[in-house]
């Protein structure tokens, strides 16, 4: 019941109109009665005085009974509602025109009579001798010998509004007019409310559609103004924007969730392989205890150790990547010399390069400007690139790390004369766990980490490669101001 705003408004309006209508009717009836009494009393104000002048009922200080009866009869013929009473100066009823037995009072109050004679504003009501509970309009005049002629003007008395209405055609007409006016206003107001709440209903149903679509389909609210509208227009516009935003975020969340699941699947798969070999070699050692020669034993242990090392490295790199992804460790940017950093890292790998028979060299121009970034992370990225280059370059090859200033940026290139990466594999080398070569020495995470680090610095990592010619990785950072 009353689920819509419109229904609620309509009910409130209906109640309001009923109350107003009731008050109006009651007020009309009351004023009509008072008005009739006022007019009646005004018209007959001088009735008592005229009677007394033309047919004096007191003669020489005594009641003239025959005159009194004449007056009574004449008045009865004109208007049976009019009653005449003869009062002494204290208000006691001395004689009356009503049939005997109908008069219930001996006295009437003199105060209203004094007010009437004093010329106060009409209507003034005095005691009705026939009914102790009622008051009626009257006319009165003081008599020469003391006392008053007291004329009750009567008039209709109604017990209820319905009775009063039934008695008057004009009142009926005016009641019909009033009810029609109220009805008309009510219908007009309901139509108006209906039109005004229609847009709210449209908005509500749009919202419901959005909910039913499981927040997946953004909603267009039909016909609303996009600028300069009222509250409903603003609500509609905000809701449209909100539904679009929610949908985007839901999609994003789904995407992230998918990636995460994929990642977990990959991680468990890639960790399982070295773990299985490790387990295999250890099992063999245990099983063939005493049957293996010292050299064989040593060989198995060495392989197991290598797998364990690889496993450890994978876990460490995964952890590193997770940290970079989750922004737990914010980058600590400072101004530093990329030239010096490149030189240091090259120095660090010199021994390994020599062992592999690869020439490793830094080519750094003089007087290079500083860049802004996190040194530790940048070192990590460089290490990954140089390590890859050395690993994939055969003996007598070259690995060159160059740093040059170009177009307001500092560009770092790590190029080698190694095996290169086939074109079809190039797009995937930055993926986690992806390894282009079959060797399976690393974890396949180094380039993902380097790329992520550069992303955090607002830079990108580019790779160019030709099979059996060589590979070049490059990135550039903005020069520090
Ligand atoms: N300089 C390069 N020359 C040829 N191939 C490369 C070079 N650098 C990377 N690759 C290829 O890209 C793959 C991904 O490199 P990445 O550094 O991400 O992993 P990884 O070196 O195998 O393992 P990790 O760095 O985690 O120890 C490598 O497996 C390799 O096949
Ligand atoms: Mg690597």
Query: Both 22 and 111 in a single domain?
Result: yes
Mean pLDDT within 69-79: 79
State the distance from the centre of ligand 2 to the C-alpha of 446, rounded, in angstroms: 4
Nearest ligand 1 atom to the CA of 435 is: 29
Element containing residue 403 per DSSP (H, E): strand 398-406
State the distance from the centre of ligand 2 to the C-alpha of 317, rounded, in angstroms: 10
Query: Both 272 and 401 in a single domain?
Result: no
CB contact set of 321 (below 8 Å; sequence gap of 6+) = 432, 445, 448, 449, 452
Mean pLDDT within 162-188: 85
Residues 193-207 have pLDDT tens digits of: 888 888 888 888 888
Residues 261-304 have pLDDT tens digits of: 887 887 787 788 889 989 999 999 999 988 989 899 999 999 99
Read off the tokens for 316.
Answer: 């460490």
Select from 266, 299, 324 the last residue of a domain: 324
Q: Which ligand is nearest to the CA of 389?
A: 1
Select from 108, 141, 162 the last residue of a domain: 162
Query: Both 407 and 438 in a single domain?
Result: yes
Query: Both 304 and 359 in a single domain?
Result: no
Nearest-CA residue for ligand 1 atom 29 is: 435
* Vertex 333 angle, CA 328 and 337, to 5°: 140
Nearest ligand 1 atom to the CA of 445 is: 26
Q: Report CA-CA distances (Å) from 267 to 30, 429, 444.
A: 93, 16, 11
User: Which CATH number goes with the domain that contains 40?
Assistant: 3.30.450
Check residue 336 and give its pLDDT. 95
Residue 159 scores a pLDDT above 70: no
State the distance from the centre of ligand 2 to the C-alpha of 386, rounded, in angstroms: 8
**SS3 call for 276:** helix
Backbone φ and ψ for 263, nearest 5 degrees, come out as -60, -45
In percent, how much of the chain has pLDDT > 90? 39
Check residue 259 and give its pLDDT. 79
State the distance from the centre of ligand 1 to the C-alpha of 162, rounded, in angstroms: 103
Query: Both 320 and 336 in a single domain?
Result: no
Query: Both 402 and 447 in a single domain?
Result: yes
Pairwise CA distance, residues 353 & 355, whole Å: 5
Nearest ligand 1 atom to the CA of 317 is: 26
Residue 276 lies in a domain: yes
Mean pLDDT within 23-48: 88
Query: Both 339 and 309 in a single domain?
Result: no
Nearest-CA residue for ligand 1 atom 25 is: 446
From 267, 316, 435, the mutation candidate for ligand 1 (largest count of ligand atoms within 8 A of CB) is 435
Nearest-CA residue for ligand 1 atom 1 is: 389
State the distance from the centre of ligand 2 to the C-alpha of 448, rounded, in angstroms: 9
The CB density around residue 254, as the number of other CB atoms within 10 Å, is 11
Stretch among 230-234, 348-352, 437-441, 462-466 having the lowest mean pLDDT: 437-441
Average pLDDT taken over every residue of the chain:
87
Residues 110/91, Cβ–Cβ less than 8 Å: yes
Mean pLDDT within 186-190: 91
Report field, pTM of the whole predicted structure over 0.85 = no
Query: Both 317 and 353 in a single domain?
Result: no
Pairwise CA distance, residues 256 & 252, whole Å: 6
Check residue 28 and give its pLDDT. 85
Nearest ligand 1 atom to the CA of 473 is: 1
Mean pLDDT within 307-332: 83
Residue 287 lies in a domain: yes
State the distance from the centre of ligand 1 to the C-alpha of 264, rounded, in angstroms: 21
Query: Both 291 and 342 in a single domain?
Result: no
Confidence bin at 342 (pLDDT 50/70/90): very high
Mean pLDDT within 220-224: 76
Query: Both 305 and 387 in a single domain?
Result: no
Q: Which ligand is nearest to the CA of 433?
A: 1
State the distance from the centre of ligand 2 to the C-alpha of 281, rounded, in angstroms: 26
Stretch among 47-51, 55-59, 171-175, 179-183 having the lowest mean pLDDT: 55-59
Query: Both 352 and 312 in a single domain?
Result: no
User: In terms of residue numbers, what domain contains 150?
Assistant: 5-162
Check residue 394 and give its pLDDT. 96
Mean pLDDT within 414-422: 95
Residue 162 scores a pLDDT above 90: no
Residue 81 scores a pLDDT above 70: yes
* Paired strand residues for 139: 151
Ligand 1 contacts (CB < 6 A) are 317, 384, 388-389, 392, 416, 418-421, 429, 434-437, 442-448, 471
Check residue 156 and give its pLDDT. 59
* Paired strand residues for 85: 96, 150
Residue 205 lies in a domain: no
Residue 146 scores a pLDDT above 90: no
Select from 131, 162, 193 the last residue of a domain: 162
Residue 297 lies in a domain: yes
Residue 211 lies in a domain: no
Nearest ligand 1 atom to the CA of 444 is: 19
Q: Which ligand is nearest to the CA of 428?
A: 1
Residue 225 lies in a domain: no
User: Which CATH number goes with the domain that contains 386?
Assistant: 3.30.565.10
The tally of domains found in the chain comes to 3
Which of 380, 377, 387, 469 is closest to 422 using CA atoms?
469
Check residue 155 and give its pLDDT. 59
State the distance from the centre of ligand 1 to the C-alpha of 466, rounded, in angstroms: 15
Q: Which ligand is nearest to the CA of 414?
A: 1
Query: Both 305 and 362 in a single domain?
Result: no
Nearest-CA residue for ligand 1 atom 4 is: 420
User: Which CATH number goes with the domain that contains 289?
Assistant: 1.10.287.130
* Burial degree of 403 (CB within 10 A; 0-12, 13-18, 19+): buried
The CB density around residue 67, as the number of other CB atoms within 10 Å, is 14
Residue 170 lies in a domain: no
State the distance from the centre of ligand 1 to the C-alpha of 443, rounded, in angstroms: 9
From 356, 386, 425, 436, the mutation candidate for ligand 1 (largest count of ligand atoms within 8 A of CB) is 436
State the distance from the centre of ligand 1 to the C-alpha of 398, rounded, in angstroms: 17
Residue 23 lies in a domain: yes
């Amino acid at each position: 019941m009353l689920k819509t705003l419109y229904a609620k408004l309509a009910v409130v309006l209906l109640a309001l109109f009923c109350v107003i209508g009731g008050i109006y009717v009651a007020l009309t009836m009351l004023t009509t009665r008072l008005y009739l009494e006022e007019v009646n009393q005004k018209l007959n104000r001088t009735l008592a005085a005229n009677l007394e002048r033309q047919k004096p009922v007191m003669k020489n200080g005594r009641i003239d009974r025959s005159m009194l009866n004449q007056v009574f009869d004449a008045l009865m013929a004109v208007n049976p509602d009019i009653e005449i009473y003869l009062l002494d100066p204290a208000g006691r009823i001395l004689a009356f025109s009503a049939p005997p037995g109908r008069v219930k009072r001996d006295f009437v109050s003199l105060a209203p009579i004094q007010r009437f004679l004093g010329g106060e504003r009409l209507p003034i009501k005095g005691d009705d001798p026939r009914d102790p509970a009622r008051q009626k309009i009257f006319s009165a005049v003081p008599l020469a010998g003391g006392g008053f002629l007291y004329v009750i003007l009567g008039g209709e008395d109604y017990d209820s509004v319905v009775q009063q209405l039934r008695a008057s055609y004009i009142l009926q007409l005016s009641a019909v007019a009033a009810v029609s006016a109220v009805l008309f206003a009510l219908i007009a107001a309901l139509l108006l409310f209906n039109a005004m709440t229609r847009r709210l209903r449209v908005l509500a149903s749009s919202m419901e559609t959005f909910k039913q679509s499981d927040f997946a389909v953004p909603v267009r609210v039909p016909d609303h103004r996009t600028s300069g509208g009222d509250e409903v227009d603003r609500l509609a516009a905000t809701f449209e924007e909100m539904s679009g935003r929610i949908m985007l975020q839901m999609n994003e969340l789904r995407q992230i969730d998918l990636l995460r699941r994929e990642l977990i699947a990959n991680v468990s798969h890639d960790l399982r392989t070295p773990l299985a070999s490790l387990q295999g070699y250890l099992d063999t050692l245990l099983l063939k205890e005493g049957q293996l020669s010292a050299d064989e034993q040593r060989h198995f242990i060495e392989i197991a150790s290598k797998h364990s090392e690889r496993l450890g490295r994978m876990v460490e790199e995964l952890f590193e990547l997770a940290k970079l992804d989750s922004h737990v460790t914010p980058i600590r940017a400072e101004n530093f010399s990329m030239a010096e950093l490149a030189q240091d890292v090259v120095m660090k790998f010199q021994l390994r390069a020599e062992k592999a028979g690869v020439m490793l060299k830094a080519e750094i121009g003089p007087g290079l400007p500083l860049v802004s970034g996190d040194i530790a992370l940048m070192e990590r990225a460089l290490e990954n690139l140089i390590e890859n280059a050395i690993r994939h370059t055969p003996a007598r090859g070259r690995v060159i790390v160059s740093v040059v200033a170009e177009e307001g940026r500092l560009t770092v290139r790590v190029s080698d004369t190694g095996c290169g990466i086939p074109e079809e594999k190039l797009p995937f080398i930055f993926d986690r766990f992806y390894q282009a070569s079959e060797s399976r020495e690393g974890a396949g995470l180094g380039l993902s980490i380097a790329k992520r680090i550069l992303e955090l610095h607002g830079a990108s990592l580019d790779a160019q490669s030709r099979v059996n010619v060589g590979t070049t990785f490059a990135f550039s950072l903005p020069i520090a101001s």
